[in-house]
C-alpha cells in the first residue's frame, strides 16, 4: 500500500514540484502513519474478523463458519446482555444530555467573565482524575456501610442502612457521571456561538421559553448535541470499569462477556465474535447519529 500511495503521488511538500528527494520526504512522512494504522488498527481488526469466523470443533482443529455468531444468537444470556448494554447506553446518553444541558446553558449564556471561565474549568477538573478514582468515590458513597446510606439513617428516612450499590440505577449514575465532560464541552461551545439577539428577537415576537428552546436553541445547538451524544454513547457502550465495579455480579455488561471469553475462558474465537458485534453496534449507532443529524464524522471528532 505504501508503494502504491507513493507512486501515485502528484505533488508534495510545501508546494514544491515533484522531485525525487521530495518523494522520499513524502514516503518518510507516510511511513509512521502507515505503520501505525496498518500495524495497530487495520490488520489487527482484519485478524479479529478472521478469528471470529473460526469455530473450534476439536482441540486445535478449527473450521470456518458463523458458529460463534450462532452461539451468540442461540444463547439467550449473550444477546440479552448485548441488548441490555445497548439500551442502557442509550438511556445513559439521554440522561447525560438532560443533566448537562441546563448546566451548559448556565455556563455559556448566564455566567459572565471570570465566573464563566471558572465554572468551565471546574467542569473539566474532575475528569483529569482517573475513572478508577471517581468510581472509588461512588463506591464509598453508596455501599451499605457508606456515606449516603448512613446519612439516610440519620435523617430518619430509612430505618437501617440500605445497599445502594449493585443496582441498575447505580450503574446508570456512574455512567452518567463518567461521561459528563464529553457532553458539557461540546454543548457549551455550541451554545456560546448562539447570538443572544436571536433569543431576544424571538422573545419580542412573543415566543415563550419552550418555543424558543424548540425553535431556536435546539436547532442551533444540534451539532453540539449530536457530537456530545455520539461520544458519550460510544464511551458508555465500551465501558468496563464502571459497570463491573458499581454493578457487581449483576452488571451484565457486554464488554464483560468479551473479557470473560478472552481472558478467563481463553475462547478467543468466541470473544472475537463478541468484540466484532460490539464494534458493529457502536459503529452503526455512531453512523446513524451522524446521518440523522446531517453531521460529518471529521467535524464531530474535531469538535469534541
Of 156-215, binders to other proteins (CB under 8 A) are 177, 180-182, 185, 196, 199-200, 203, 209, 212
- Min dist CB 77 to other proteins, Å, is 19
- Min dist CB 222 to other proteins, Å, is 18
> Which single residue is written with the C-alpha cell 470473560?
260
- State how far the alpha carbon of 103 is from the alpha carbons of 91, 99, 110, 121, in Å: 19, 7, 10, 13
Question: HSE (CB half, 13 Å, CA atoms) of 57?
Answer: 9
Among 66, 87, 102, 214, binds other proteins (CB under 8 A): 102
- Kindly state whether residue 98 participates in binding other proteins, applying the rule CB under 8 A: no
Check the CA dihedral 178-181-184-187 and report its sign. Answer: negative
Of 252-281, binders to other proteins (CB under 8 A) are 255, 258-259, 262-263, 268, 271-272, 275, 278-279
Closest by CA position to 233, among listed 79, 84, 92, 83: 92
Phi and psi at residue 55, to the nearest 5°? -115, 135
- Residues in binding contact with other proteins, number by CB under 8 A: 94
What would the x/- binding string for other proteins be over residues 234 to 253, using CB under 8 A?
x--xxxxx---x--------
Nearer CB in complex with other proteins: 222/279: 279
Which grid coordinates belong to 128? 483529569
Which grid coordinates belong to 180? 459528563
Among 83, 130, 158, 284, binds other proteins (CB under 8 A): 130
- Kindly state whether residue 83 participates in binding other proteins, applying the rule CB under 8 A: no
DSSP code at position 58: E
- State how far the alpha carbon of 278 is from the alpha carbons of 141, 160, 175, 281, 296, in Å: 31, 41, 18, 5, 22
Of 140-159, binders to other proteins (CB under 8 A) are 140-141, 143, 145-147, 150
Nearer CB in complex with other proteins: 159/197: 197
Of 56-64, 68-76, 90-98, 102-110, which segment contacts other proteins by CB under 8 A?
102-110
Amino acid at each position: 500500500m505504501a508503494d502504491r500511495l507513493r507512486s501515485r503521488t502528484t505533488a508534495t511538500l510545501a508546494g514544491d514540484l515533484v522531485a525525487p528527494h521530495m518523494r522520499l520526504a513524502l514516503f518518510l512522512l507516510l511511513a509512521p502513519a502507515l505503520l501505525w494504522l496498518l500495524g495497530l488498527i487495520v490488520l489487527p481488526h482484519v485478524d479479529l474478523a478472521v478469528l471470529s469466523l473460526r469455530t473450534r470443533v476439536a482441540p486445535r482443529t478449527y473450521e470456518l463458519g458463523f458458529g460463534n455468531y450462532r452461539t451468540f444468537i442461540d444463547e439467550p444470556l449473550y444477546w440479552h446482555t448485548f441488548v441490555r448494554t445497548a439500551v442502557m447506553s442509550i438511556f445513559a446518553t439521554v440522561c447525560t444530555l438532560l443533566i448537562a444541558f441546563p448546566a451548559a446553558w448556565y455556563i455559556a449564556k448566564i455566567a459572565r467573565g471570570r465566573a464563566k471561565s471558572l465554572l468551565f474549568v471546574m467542569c473539566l477538573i474532575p475528569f483529569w482524575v482517573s475513572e478508577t478514582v471517581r468510581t472509588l468515590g461512588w463506591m464509598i458513597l453508596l455501599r451499605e456501610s457508606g456515606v449516603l446510606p448512613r446519612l439516610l439513617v440519620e435523617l430518619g428516612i430509612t430505618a437501617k442502612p440500605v445497599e445502594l450499590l449493585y443496582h441498575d440505577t447505580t450503574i446508570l449514575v456512574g455512567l452518567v457521571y463518567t461521561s459528563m465532560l464529553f457532553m458539557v464541552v461540546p454543548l457549551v461551545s455550541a451554545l456560546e456561538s448562539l447570538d443572544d439577539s436571536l433569543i431576544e428577537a424571538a422573545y419580542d415576537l412573543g415566543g415563550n421559553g419552550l418555543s424558543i428552546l424548540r425553535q431556536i436553541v435546539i436547532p442551533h445547538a444540534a451539532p453540539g448535541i449530536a457530537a456530545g451524544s455520539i461520544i458519550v454513547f460510544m464511551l458508555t457502550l465500551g465501558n468496563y470499569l464502571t459497570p463491573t465495579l458499581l454493578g457487581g455480579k449483576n452488571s451484565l455488561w457486554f464488554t464483560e462477556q468479551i473479557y470473560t471469553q478472552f481472558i478467563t475462558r481463553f475462547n478467543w474465537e468466541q470473544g472475537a465474535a463478541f468484540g466484532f458485534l460490539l464494534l458493529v453496534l457502536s459503529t452503526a449507532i455512531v453512523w446513524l447519529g451522524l446521518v440523522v443529524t446531517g453531521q460529518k464524522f471529521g467535524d464531530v471528532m474535531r469538535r469534541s
